[in-house]
Amino acid sequence: VELDPAVGELPPNGFTSDDLRPVPVARRTWTTYNFLALWVGMAHNIPSWTLASGLVALGMDWKQAVLTIALANLVVLVPMLLTGHAGTKYGIPFPVFARAAFGLRGANLPALLRAAVACAWFGIQTWIGGEGIFLLAGKLFGESWRTAGEFGGYPWTQWLSFLLFWLIEMAVIARGMEALRRFENWAAPFVIVGALALLAWITVKAGGFGPLLDQPSRLGWGGGFWKVFFPALMGMIGFWSTLSLNIPDFTRFGGSQRAQIRGQALGLPTTMTFFAFLSVLVTSGSEAVYGVPVWDPIQLAARMENPVGILFALLTVLVATLSVNIAANVVSPAYDLANLLPRLVTFRTGALVAGVVGIVIFPWRLISDPHVYIYTWLGVVGGLLGTVGGVLIADYWALRRTRLRLAELYRPGGAYWYTAGWNWRAVTALLVGGVLAVGGSYSTLDAGGAKQGPFPADGLIPVLKPLADYGWAVGLTAAAVVYLGLSGVFGRGAAEEGEG
């Protein structure tokens, strides 16, 4: 008997919990606006604001940078919609969806990979949020706040700001997904108003926009540009490749496929492109006013003198960072850790664990150098997660034609048990795709011949270096092809035809 997610009961076992159960149809209430607001809230954050600056630092002009960001978000929207379909159709989160391809136990492999990345991102965003509190509060409390005694290389007031922001995040997520939905609904328009207010302020102060808009590309449109464009494009795709996997965590609450498709299509590419263009305009104005481009909106807001303006900027930074960090970097590991130990870890416990891991990693240094941030961090992460996406999409769309046995996703020894809970085909495809995607990772050389990054200049595996600039696409394609090939040659194991 197939499980009716509205009323069905699942037997207690090591793969079932209230947080992992299919969302009952009556509780799938998210509309197009909810998904649109989710993406507006997530896209309007400090790292996405500074994406254009990273590309300009690599030699692009503002038009090339905005074009690269726009194209990347159109590309990543495709796997976002393909994996999101399962969430809305079956009401299941990402780790349960991954069980169909990887097995009930094997699903922990992609889930924990995604969780690790989310925890690192959580640390980055939390540090940024704390930095916003520290800098802007310093404008209100004076020099003594900014020059307080140091601990671990930073003033204790900055550590206090970091802890305060972390506590706010934990308080919001502890209230559950419905509270998150309500928060995103009002956070999205608030952040837009805040960004436009920053644009209006710098425009008035500058009397127009500065020379940044007229600055020519150092790369041109020839071979020099394309050499930078493709790894940059993969890096921009890698920025949201995390969400392209665990988007079922959100679409499981969708009232219809139309709602999630329209909401995501309207929210992701348009918002990211608009925000990148907005950041270029504001930074251009800052160059006209201060003589140097100020890409960091926190640093720019800290130059304000009006206390009301500073408070508004502080609130905008807090809301913007909260909206993306909770939705993108806490929800996923909370479900992923709950999937690992359903009987012991609830959604709220998983969120707390993710929060603790995020603060002990402290990966904020990744964003200090655009070469490391775009090429190494975003490129490698995108390549690895692209392989997971390739397996999931190939399994769900090509092999199963979107038909899953819902109850079997929770039943040991059933259709998705494979071999002791692992589908070796999916694991093999993941490993092969991962090696091809990131095995050639290399560091660029500056004008003086110094290495810019942690990898060898010739690549980790020199023969794979030509593939490194296309890591996400290589990983996704290779994993999908290998998985389909192994499934065709060796069959799907315990999974049977005619799923529905």
DSSP track, 128-181:
HHHHHHHHHHHHHH-HHHHTPPEETTEEHHHHHHHHHHHHHHHHHHTT-HHHHH
Q: Is residue 251 part of a domain?
A: yes
* pLDDT greater than 60 at residue 42: yes
Decide: residue 199, CB within 10 A, 0-12 exposed, 13-18 middle, 19+ buried.
middle
Would you state the pLDDT for residue 481?
Answer: 97
* pLDDT greater than 80 at residue 362: no
Q: pLDDT tens digits, residue range 25-35?
A: 888 999 999 99
The whole-angstrom separation of Cα 423 and Cα 416 is 8
What percent of the chain is predicted at pLDDT more than 70? Answer: 89
Would you state the pLDDT for residue 179?
Answer: 72
Residues in the chain: 500
pLDDT band for position 257 (cuts 50, 70, 90):
very high
The 3-state DSSP class for residue 342 equals coil
- Span 288-302, average pLDDT: 81
Q: Is residue 474 part of a domain?
A: no
If one compares 497 and 236, the residue with the highest pLDDT of the two is: 236
pLDDT band for position 452 (cuts 50, 70, 90):
low
Q: Is residue 293 part of a domain?
A: yes
CA nearest neighbour of 67 among 371, 280, 376: 280
Would you state the pLDDT for residue 133?
Answer: 86
If one compares 410 and 234, the residue with the highest pLDDT of the two is: 410
If one compares 221 and 250, the residue with the highest pLDDT of the two is: 250
* pLDDT greater than 60 at residue 195: yes
* pLDDT greater than 50 at residue 40: yes
Cβ distance 199 to 370 under 8 Å?
Answer: no
* pLDDT greater than 90 at residue 471: no
* pLDDT greater than 90 at residue 499: no
Q: Is residue 443 part of a domain?
A: no
Q: pLDDT tens digits, residue range 385-444?
A: 889 999 999 999 999 999 999 989 998 999 999 999 999 999 999 999 999 998 988 777
The whole-angstrom separation of Cα 42 and Cα 324 is 4
The whole-angstrom separation of Cα 267 and Cα 272 is 8
The whole-angstrom separation of Cα 426 and Cα 479 is 8
Would you state the pLDDT for residue 36?
Answer: 92
Pairing of strands 154-155, 451-452: unpaired
CA distances from 70 to 31, 51, 61, 268, 375 (A): 25, 11, 14, 10, 18
Would you state the pLDDT for residue 377?
Answer: 61
The residue assigned the tokens 């299919």 is 22
Q: pLDDT tens digits, residue range 79-135?
A: 999 999 999 999 999 999 999 999 999 999 999 888 888 887 788 888 888 888 888
Going 254 to 259 to 265 to 266, the CA torsion angle's sign is negative
Would you state the pLDDT for residue 316?
Answer: 83
Among the ranges given (101-110, 410-419, 464-473, 487-496), the one the predictor scored with the smallest mean pLDDT:
487-496
- Span 66-90, average pLDDT: 94
- Span 304-327, average pLDDT: 81
**pTM passes above 0.85:** no
Average pLDDT, the chain: 83
Q: Is residue 334 part of a domain?
A: yes
Q: pLDDT tens digits, residue range 400-411?
A: 999 999 989 998
Give backbone dihedrals phi and psi of 252, rounded to 5 degrees, phi first: -65, -15
Percent of residues in the chain assigned helix, strand, coil, to nearest 5: 70, 0, 30
Domain extent at residue 270 = 25-368
Would you state the pLDDT for residue 146?
Answer: 80
- The CATH number of whichever domain residue 34 belongs to comes to 1.10.4160.10
Would you state the pLDDT for residue 423?
Answer: 96
Q: Which two tokens stand for residue 245?
A: 């996997």
Decide: residue 87, CB within 10 A, 0-12 exposed, 13-18 middle, 19+ buried.
buried
The whole-angstrom separation of Cα 174 and Cα 139 is 31
Cβ distance 334 to 347 under 8 Å?
Answer: yes
Q: Is residue 418 part of a domain?
A: no
Q: Is residue 143 part of a domain?
A: yes
Q: Is residue 299 part of a domain?
A: yes
Q: Which two tokens stand for residue 82?
A: 């393909």
* Helix H or strand E encompassing 120: helix 108-141
Would you state the pLDDT for residue 487?
Answer: 92
Give the chain's domain count. 1
